Structure 1
Amino acid sequence: MTGTPETASSYRPDALRLPPRGHGWINTFWVLFGVVALGGILVAGAVYTAPAVISDWQVRAAARPAPEARVSEGKCSAKLVIHICDATLSLRTKAGTVTRRVNYVFSGLHAGDYRVGVMADPARPDLVTTDLGLDRLWNRTITLLVGMGAIAACIIGALLSLIRARRTA
């Protein structure tokens, strides 16, 4: 072997640098901004997506096709493997017309359009839904629980890191 062997005394590790004092409030601001943004997404999921999942679980066994119903303002969009579908459903009943907005969030690979049929439980026509929503009920439930759980974990982790950073300061 050629060359000189390194000894422990000639080895000098690089110095560790800490962020300069006084910039902690900027980090705190961004953490809190992220927490508020993620909290908004969590609330949106609870307000727009969860009620449709819960009501579909309530009518899944008794729902039947509703030929007198119609879908208006229906659209779906895909972000990678997450699909978001919004629709307004209208069902004429003896007591009047029931109108309901539904929001479906589910995962999977799909190319092309979705065809939907309106479904309703004759005993609970106010919970009108679609065959798309019922066919993907387990997928929607798991997607909602995993998504909301991940967002909640991010919020908790961010707040814990903020508390730990304040304790060491």
Structure 2
Amino acid sequence: MAYTRLTLPDRPLTLRPGLIAAPRLAGFLILVFLAVGGAIAWWQAPGLWRDWQISRNPVTVADSEVRDGKCTTRKAFFTDCEAHLVWSHGGQSYETEVSLMFVDIHSGDYYVDVVISGDKPHLATLSLGVEKLWNRIAMFAAFTALFFGGALAVLWQWIRAARGSRQLAAPGRLMLIPTEITQSQTARGVTQITYRDPSKPKRRLASNFARGEDPLMVWDDQGNARALAVRHETAALPALLDRGLMRVDLSDAERRAALDLLAAEETERFGAPQTETAPPKKKLHVLRGILTFFGIVLFFVLAALGWWLWYVLGASSQYDRVGMEINNLMPAPVNDWACGKLEERFGHLNAPWGCTAADHVSWK
């Protein structure tokens, strides 16, 4: 089944760099996956580690109280519980916040006790947390694998695209191959074409075309259209050609002869040439991508700082989990200032994590 009579010169040719594109918004997707996975780890990992230690030597405390306990079930079986625990042991009073996440098909209330570690009495949780410990670990592992695995998958596609583009940019003989286009998306003047690798039909690749560029299309005897690509003798991935043949380093005479041949073939088939021979305008979007990346990073940094300031100056409780985590990461002088502000408002209560002395209770 002949798609075209076009041939390329029998000599090493160089392709334009960057012909294999990473998935659209790859950097943003990686950041989102990492942010969500990191947030889940930040939210649940400390509690899992605490409850694992408690489960080694659990002790139920009678002199205890569960305040503001609440469990919420979403999507029929995703359950998260929160509570404020107050207990006494060995003449010392303690209090802490507990958050749990697990899978359960349950209706009605949960009846719980306060359980502490016999070895570390300052560690406490709900009896439900110990009962559902392996359930919680499995759910935590599934969610972190999903989001961190998603980030790695996108990163792998990014690396594969960069490596493939470098291989294609090296001089080498090229072989023309037709390939199927599966998707086309245009955003901000750039069209990303997704196409199949003919040698591995399940593998999808992408290539970006700037405004004024289009993929080079050819047709078989039945009128079925395919994009024309090239396979490099030393590269693993094929690359799409453009309608003006500007992606390959042909001489002006070679390019003109090739375009004339394509125009003649299209005239035979359609009655008029379909290929535009004007060289496309080249546009660079590297700076925009860099600014977008740093803009996203700046957004998350400012959001974290805003949350921290709210926690230090306006939160109704010293036990806000996110606020405590951010405050604990602050440099010592900033942390000392924040703990001083918190102590002004909550000095009559136990200190939160990040502001505690060696006894894990009093203010430092």
TM-score by length of 2: 0.37
- Displacement after TM superposition at 1:127 (Å): 1.0
- Displacement after TM superposition at 1:129 (Å): 1.0
The question of 1:157 aligning with 2:153 is answered: yes
Query: Residue 78 of structure 2: which of 75, 82, 93 is its match?
Result: 82
User: What are the ranges of 5 or more consecutive residues in structure 2 without an aligned counterpart?
Assistant: 4-20, 166-206, 208-364
1:77-113 deviations in Å (ceiling 9; x for gaps): 2222221112221212345322222221111222222
| Partner residue, 1:133 | 129
The question of 1:97 aligning with 2:131 is answered: no
Secondary structure (helix, strand or coil) at the match of 2:84 reads strand
Query: Residue 51 of structure 1: which of 33, 46, 56 is its match?
Result: 46
Conserved 8 A contact 2:23-2:158: no
Report the number of matched residues: 148
- Displacement after TM superposition at 1:132 (Å): 0.4
TM-score by length of 1: 0.74
Letter matched to residue 105 of structure 1: M
| Partner residue, 2:114 | 118
User: What are the ranges of 5 or more consecutive residues in structure 1 without an aligned counterpart?
Assistant: 1-7, 13-23
| Larger RCO (CA within 8 A; separation ≥ 6) | 1
- Displacement after TM superposition at 1:25 (Å): 9.3
- The structure with more radius of gyration: 2
| Partner residue, 2:57 | 62
Residue identity (%): 24
The question of 1:33 aligning with 2:28 is answered: yes
| Partner residue, 1:18 | none
Mapped to 2, the partners of 1:122 and 1:164 lie a distance apart of: 52
Secondary structure (helix, strand or coil) at the match of 1:45 reads helix
> Are the structure 2 counterparts of residues 68 and 148 from structure 1 closer, same or farther at C-alpha, using a change threshold of 3 Å?
same
> Are the structure 2 counterparts of residues 72 and 57 from structure 1 closer, same or farther at C-alpha, using a change threshold of 3 Å?
same
Mapped to 2, the partners of 1:62 and 1:90 lie a distance apart of: 19
Mapped to 2, the partners of 1:150 and 1:93 lie a distance apart of: 40
Conserved 8 A contact 2:102-2:139: yes
Query: Residue 42 of structure 1: which of 33, 37, 42 is its match?
Result: 37
- RMSD, aligned CA: 2.6
